[in-house]
Each structure stands twice: as C-alpha cells, then as structure tokens.
Structure 1
Amino acid sequence: MTELHEPFPRIERQRGADRLGMVIFLGSELMLFGGVFAAALALRLRHPDDYRQAAHHLKLWLGTANTAVLLTSSLFAALAVAAARAGRPKQAGRVLVVAVLLGLAFLGIKGAEYAGEYREGLMPGTADAAFDGHFQQLFMNLYFVGTGLHALHVTIGIALMAVAAASRAARADREAVLFGNVALYWHFVDVVWVFLYPTLYLAGAR
C-alpha cells in the first residue's frame, strides 16, 4: 500500500504555498472586476454627459458612509492578524468579530440604498421613466452589476472571517496563516470598493 506524505516537507513551504494560492485566486478575481471597470471607462469616455447625469442619481453620502465603514473593517482585520501573531488569541478573535460586524453594517447600508433605488425606479426593468437616454440606463445596469458583485464578495468575506474568529486553532496560530489569508481577501474587497466609489459615486459629484 502506498504511503501518503504531506506535499511540503517544511511548514514554512506549506505556509508560503497557502499565501501564493490566495494571491493567485485574488488575481483571477481582479480580472473579473477589471471587466466592470473597463466597461465603466469606455462608457465614460464615449458618453461623458450621460455618465455624469446618471451618476447624479446615486446617493453620495451613502457611498461615502460605506467607504468609511469598509476601511475601518479592513483596519480591524489587520489588527486581528497582528494580535494573533503577538500571541493574543482571544483579542484576535474579538477584533475579527468587530470586522465582521462592520461588514454586516456595510451590507445593511447597501441594502437600504438598493431599496431606495428600487422605489425611485432606478433598477433594471423599472427605470424607463427615470432617465433621459439609453446610456444613462446602461450606467445604472453597470452600477448594479459592479456593486452587486462586490456585495457578494463582501458576504463571502464575512463568512470567512466568522469561521476564522470561531476557530481556536486559527486564533492560536502564531503565524496567523488562516487569519492572514482571510484578512488578505478582505483587504482585496476593500480595495475594489475604493475604486468603485470614485468610478460610480464621485462621477456625479461635480
């Protein structure tokens, strides 16, 4: 009978492979969001007036509030990794729970924003009377695709952080392998929003 062996003889190689796998995965996710940003850029270059007019329908203050919430959540995720590496597992778990709660607050704000946009007839299929032209409707379609895809990633990130916070082994790991990879994913979600915010919300601020 063939004996099974670990793929890496040293734990350092295994941890490096874990991080490399996460980086490759995030690279593929970046290409996914890259299509959204490329479409937004093309629409803005070809139809700048329609782009700005449609962006005026977005609630800038809600987008700004969500930016602050997500940036703060990302900070707490980083603090959780630092606490785990410093040998403070209980603190690491509690801090990561704060990041989870802030992520839920982000989704709550986004849900309230979507509800308002539905009432205003801005969602696809309800927006015929809300816009002056086809390209403004196209902007809103792009907005819902981009922010909806991002909200899905936020939900996944919240679930990952909740699992990590509940894991005693992850909290006690001085190398913070799981905490580090989960935090890296959460930082990616944060960075995507940092680009979505000016691309969509700030376009109508002028």
Structure 2
Amino acid sequence: MIRSDEKPAEPFVAWAQQRDAARLGMWLFLASEAMMFGSLIMVAWLLRLQHPDGVAEAVAGLHHWLASGNTFLLLTSSLLMTLAMAAGEPRRVRHWLLGASLLGVLFLGCKGIEYGLEIQEGVLPGFAQASHWQVPSAQLFMNLYFIATALHGVHVLVAVGLALWLYRSLGRGTLAAHQADTRLEMISLYWHLVDGIWIVLFPTLYLVGR
C-alpha cells in the first residue's frame, strides 16, 4: 500500500502548494533543456544553408530507417507514459511505467546499433576517415549529428532511470499518494520533452536534404 500520512515538506503548508512549486520548477528546467537543443537545431539549419552539398552528402549516408523505427518506439513510449498518468491504481501505473522503460531501452539499443554501423563505415566522429567525404563540410554535419543524438541519448537514459526508480518505489510502497502523483507527473513531463525533442531532431538530421 502507498502511504498517505506524510505531510508536505517545509515551507509548504499544503500538498497543492508543493505540487504547484514542483510544476513551476520542472517547467523552468524543461525550458532550459528546450533552449539547449533548440540551439543545436538552429546550428544544423544554418549549416544546411551555408553548406548544402556537404550536408546532403552526410545525410544520404545516415540510416534513416533505423531512426524511423526509433521514432515509433519513442512515440509509443510517450503513449504508455500518458496511460500511466491516467491509470490511477499503483499496480497499473507500474505496468505502464515498465512498458515505457523497456521501449526507452530498445530506443537506446537501436541507437547503439546505428552508431556501430557508422563506425564500420568510418563516418562517426572519432572513427571517421577524412577521405570518406567528397565535401569537407559533411564532416562538420556529422560532428553536429553525433553531439545532438548522443546528448539526446543521455536524456533518454535519464528518463528510463527515473521511470524505473518510480516503478520500484511504487512497488515497495515508500511514497505517499500525493508524492507518487507528483513524481509521476514530473517524470511524465520530462519524458514527453525528450520525445518532443526527438520529433524535431529526426527530420532535421535525417530527412531534410535527403
């Protein structure tokens, strides 16, 4: 059973007040994350405008079918997080959290396969062969691609870790009902941000200019 006797943390006098403060803090954090990725996306589009040939060469070699599958996985995981928010009963919440976490792990696994293929092809930064590119600016785009997708992968890993932590806490009954609801809402917001970022990254890096 989830405990219900805990009181709000100081200086809050009501759970609603604490939850509103948590929401405000999370939205400010999400805004900072969106600005960070927004800067990378703006650089990607600027690079396309200044070096269209190099970007086109780099994009043509990316594994967009793997990325498309990953997009499906991440969209489905966001659906499961939404179902977790609507579930209400802790057992059902844990069920959807576990499903979303597994899809997040599959996303990371597919991304690892994609990186492996790019290493074999000699195009991933750190393993790239300069002679591979006919246009030098293609390597610039690949550097940006690796930074953006690796950073996003770290965010997916964090989201999976948070979801599994809540899954475990709900199973052990260590959270009050208000605490569980607040943590579920915050994790869901973060998960949807990670999903939304990928929705923009996917066409920016894989599709435009192909």
Same fold (TM over 0.5): yes
Preserved contact between residue 83 and residue 91 of structure 1 (Cα < 8 Å)? yes
The number of residues matched between the two structures is: 198
- CA–CA distance in 2 between the matches of 1:147 and 1:31? 16
Unaligned regions of 5+ residues in structure 2, if any? Answer: 1-8
Residues 164-195 of structure 1, C-alpha deviation per residue, up to 9 Å, x if partnerless? 11112559549721111001000000000000
Bigger drift between 12-21 and 163-172 goes to 163-172
- CA–CA distance in 1 between the matches of 2:64 and 2:205? 9
Match of 1:164 among 148, 166, 170: 166
2:55 is matched with: 51
Unaligned regions of 5+ residues in structure 1, if any? Answer: none
1:203 offset after TM fit, Å? 2.1
Verify: 1:28 aligned to 2:32, yes or no: yes
- CA–CA distance in 2 between the matches of 1:63 and 1:171? 39
1:177 is matched with: 182
Bigger drift between 108-117 and 41-50 goes to 41-50
Q: Taking structure 1 as the reference length, what is the TM-score of the superposition?
A: 0.91
- CA–CA distance in 2 between the matches of 1:171 and 1:193? 33
Preserved contact between residue 81 and residue 100 of structure 2 (Cα < 8 Å)? yes
CA 171–11 in structure 1, closer or farther in 2 if over 3 Å, else same: closer
CA 119–171 in structure 1, closer or farther in 2 if over 3 Å, else same: farther
Preserved contact between residue 124 and residue 141 of structure 1 (Cα < 8 Å)? yes
Preserved contact between residue 157 and residue 185 of structure 1 (Cα < 8 Å)? yes
- CA–CA distance in 1 between the matches of 2:129 and 2:181? 47
1:93 offset after TM fit, Å? 0.4
2:155 is matched with: 153
- CA–CA distance in 2 between the matches of 1:117 and 1:165? 35
Match of 2:207 among 182, 202, 206: 202
- CA–CA distance in 2 between the matches of 1:99 and 1:127? 37
Q: Taking structure 2 as the reference length, what is the TM-score of the superposition?
A: 0.90
- CA–CA distance in 2 between the matches of 1:139 and 1:59? 15
In the TM superposition, what are the counterparts of 1:14-163 in structure 2 within 5 Å? 14-84=18-88, 88-125=89-126, 126-163=128-165
Match of 2:191 among 172, 175, 186: 186
Moved over 2 A (4+): 168-175
1:72 offset after TM fit, Å? 0.2
Give me the identity figure in percent: 44
- CA–CA distance in 1 between the matches of 2:87 and 2:163? 15
- CA–CA distance in 1 between the matches of 2:54 and 2:186? 40
- CA–CA distance in 2 between the matches of 1:91 and 1:167? 14
